[in-house]
Structure 1
Amino acid sequence: MVISGFLAGAAGAGLLRRLPRGADVCWLWCAAATAVLWFVAWALAPPTWLPVPLLVGWLGVLLTAVDLRHRRLPDAVTLPAYPLVGVTLWLCGADPWRALAGCVLFGGFHLLVHVLAPGAMGGGDVKLSGSLGAVLASVSWWALPAAAVLASLVTLALGVRRRVGGVPHGPGLLAATWLVAVAAG
């Protein structure tokens, strides 16, 4: 699983470089971080649920690398995440209506925050939150508010370390969703 994660992370970094706006990220960081997350998911998640934390981990590493370096979440990754997450959840036996409801609730909540306070959250965070909401609702309804709080805590922790230029919220959303997905096992 470690080798697969390493290769998936390296390939993902290569894909990011080929995006129209290009996202230059360290391929080794993406490969190593994905390998670690995949190993932890493999060790903790049940086999029937394993594809979900693997996908969220892979997306999480790639999008975190871009968001921390370039302060954006590319549409070329966030938008294809919807069908990828949907198919993965369906293959893992998740209730599609529950996943759709989570997508609408979590995405809608983040859209509302973005509309009311545009400086507090970027459009990429809003686009990302829907697919992550589908994963969270598939775990449980309580996972939605729990992940929102955990994501805020991660973002606050990043803010302590990175004070200039604001703090991206995408890494917090992704970390919280991955942790909830792994803990669901």
Structure 2
Amino acid sequence: MGSSGGALAALALSVWLITLSAFDIRHRRLPNVLTLPGAAIVLAGAVITGDGRGATLGAAALFAAYAAVHLVAPAAMGAGDVKLAIGVGALTGALGPDVWALAALLAAALTLGWSGVLLAWRSDATVPHGVSMCVSAAVVMWLVLP
């Protein structure tokens, strides 16, 4: 795929990530109708472009990590975040293990920072982690575009 095709795909993925973020901010949940088809499309696109192995490994690794957190502390990590981890893990995994790791660490750092700021004002504040997942995936994706 040419660079214009890659930029178009990145733009479409950005729209998906922005939509998910807006929904998570407004409703404090990530609906299956956005997370699961998006993950399937990302995985299919990665297979078509020859990045299927990295996408599959990235999706499985991030899903496993988020599922473990959700099982241990369901209030700390919602099921929507776990499902979003499939698509975000596939997207960043397709870009390489270093990109995947950077996105995973950036998502955690963004949520931690955002939580700290909000908790300084309100002790009962909660932060939707899906937004940090989406922002970090978008940032690293646009950073590695040729």
Fold agreement, TM-score > 0.5: yes
Does residue 72 in structure 1 map to residue 29 in structure 2?
yes
| Partner secondary structure for residue 128 of structure 2 | coil
Letter of the structure 2 residue corresponding to residue 73 of structure 1: L
For normalisation by structure 2, the TM-score amounts to: 0.85
1:29 aligned partner: none
2:18 aligned partner: 61
Q: Which runs of 5+ in 1 are unaligned?
A: 1-45
Does residue 47 in structure 1 map to residue 4 in structure 2?
yes
Distance in 2 separating the partners of 1:94 and 1:53: 16
What is the deviation of 1:146? 1.2
Q: Specify which structure has the bigger relative contact order, considering alpha-carbon pairs within 8 angstroms and separated by 6 or more residues.
A: 2
2:61 aligned partner: 105
Match of 1:81 among 16, 22, 38: 38
Distance in 2 separating the partners of 1:181 and 1:90: 17
Q: Identity over the aligned pairs, expressed in percent?
A: 32
Does residue 172 in structure 1 map to residue 128 in structure 2?
no
Please give the root-mean-square deviation of Cα atoms over the aligned residues, in Å. 1.9
More helix by share: 2
Q: How many residues align?
A: 140
For normalisation by structure 1, the TM-score amounts to: 0.69
Does residue 131 in structure 1 map to residue 87 in structure 2?
yes
CA contact (8 A) 2:53 2:94 kept: no
Letter of the structure 2 residue corresponding to residue 95 of structure 1: D
Distance in 1 separating the partners of 2:104 and 2:40: 22
What is the deviation of 1:60? 1.3
